[in-house]
Amino acid sequence: MGFIRSTAALAALPLVFGQNSSSPFNNPGAVSFQTSPPKYPSPWGEGLGDWADAYSQAEAFVSKLTLLEKVNLTTGVGWEGEKCVGNNGAIPRLGFKALCMQDSPLGVRFADFVSAFPAQLSVASTWSRDLFYQRGNAMGSEHRDKGVDVQLGPVVGPIGRAPEGGRNWEGFSPDPVLSGVAVYETVKGIQDAGVVACTKHYVGNEQEHFRQAGANNSEAISSNIDDVTLHELYVWPFADAIRAGTGSIMCSYNQINNSYACQNSYLQNYIMKNELGFQGFIMSDWSAQHSGVASALAGLDMTMPGDVGFDSGTSFWGPNLTIAVLNGTVPQWRLDDMAVRIVAAWYYVDRENNQVENSPTFSSWTQDTYGYSHYHASEGYTLINEHLDVQDDHAELIRKIDADGTVLLKNNGALPLTGKEKLTTVFGSDAGEAMYGPNGCGDRGCDNGTLAMGWGSGTANFPYLITPLEAIKSVVRDNRGSIESVTDDFAYAQQAALAHRVSQTGGACIVFANSDAGEGYITVDGNEGDRNNLTLWHEGDALINNVASQCPNTIVVMHTVGPVLVGNWSDNANVTAIIWAGIPGQESGNAIADILYGAVNPGGKTPFTWGKTRESYGTDVLYVNNNGQGAPQDNFVEGVFIDYRYFDRFNETPQYEFGYGLSYTNFSYANIKINARSAPAYVPTTGNTPAAPTYGSVSNRTADYLCPPGFHFISAYIYPCLNSTDLATASLEPRYGQNVTINPGEYDSSPQPRLPAGSAVGSGGNAHLYDVLYTVTADVTNTGAVAGDEVAQLYVSLGGPNDPVVVLRNFDRKTIAPGATTTYSFDITRRDLSNWDTAAQDWIITSYTKTAYVGSSSRRLPLSGTLSGANTGTSSGYPPGPTGGSSSASAVPTGGSSSAAGGSTASSYHHGKPTGTKSWAPPAYTPPGYTTKNW
Q: Name 664's Cβ contacts closer than 8 Å, sequence gap at least 6.
A: 408, 411, 415, 416, 598, 601, 602, 784, 786, 788, 932, 933, 935
- Ramachandran angles phi, psi of 675, nearest 5°: -115, 120
Residues 6+ apart with CB under 8 A from 793: 127, 605, 659, 808, 810, 811, 854, 855, 856, 857, 858, 861
Residue type, 362: F
Region of 369 (left: φ > 0; alpha: ψ -120 to 50; beta: rest) is alpha
CA 675 to chain centre: 33
Closest alpha carbon to 438 in 420, 447, 353 = 447
Tell whether the torsion through CA atoms of 690, 696, 699 and 703 is positive or negative.
Answer: negative
Taking the C-alpha atoms of residue 696 and residue 698, their distance in angstroms, rounded to an integer, is: 7
Which residues lie below 8 Å from residue 640, measured CB to CB, with a gap of 6+?
A: 24, 228, 229, 232, 233, 804
Computed from CA positions of residues 907, 913, 916, 922, in that sequence, does the dihedral angle turn out positive or negative? negative
Rounded Cα distance between 519 and 167, Å, is 6
In this structure, the chain runs to a length of 935
Q: CA–CA separation, 290 vs 833, rounded Å?
A: 39
Strands 255-256 and 222-224, sheet pairing: parallel
| Cα-based distances in Å from 332 to 602, 689, 773 | 57, 18, 44
Burial 777-795, CB ≥16 within 10 A → b, else e: ebbbbbbbebbbbbbbbbb
- The span from the CA of 763 to the CA of 371, in Å, is 43
- Of 274, 21, 278, 297, whose CA–CA distance to 842 is shortest? 274
Q: Is 227 a residue of the active site?
A: no
- Whether 645 contacts 807, CB under 8 Å: yes
Distance CA 105, CA 180 (A): 15
User: 332-348 and 52-62 are packed helices; what angle lies between their axes, rounded to 10 degrees?
Assistant: 130
Closest C-alpha to 165, from 514, 450, 451, 519 = 519
Pick the catalytic residue: 103, 285, 337, 443?
Answer: 285
* 3-class state of residue 778 by DSSP: strand
Question: E strands of 750-862, at which residues?
Answer: 772-782, 788-797, 807-816, 821-829, 835-837, 842-844, 851-855
318 and 720 Cβ atoms separated by less than 8 Å: yes
CA distance linking residue 45 with residue 918, whole number of Å: 51
CA 898 to CA 619: how far, in whole Å?
35
Cβ proximity of 601 and 664 under 8 Å: yes
The DSSP code for 527 is: B
Crossing angle for the helix pair 67-74 and 332-348, nearest 10 degrees?
60
Residue of 579, 601, 587 whose CA lies nearest to 514: 579
* Greatest pairwise CA separation for the chain in angstroms: 90
Q: What is the DSSP letter of 744?
A: T
Answer positive or negative: Cα dihedral of 426, 429, 435, 441.
negative
- Which DSSP state fits 38? P
Name the nearest CA neighbour of 236 among 174, 177, 281. Answer: 177
Active-site amino acid positions: 285
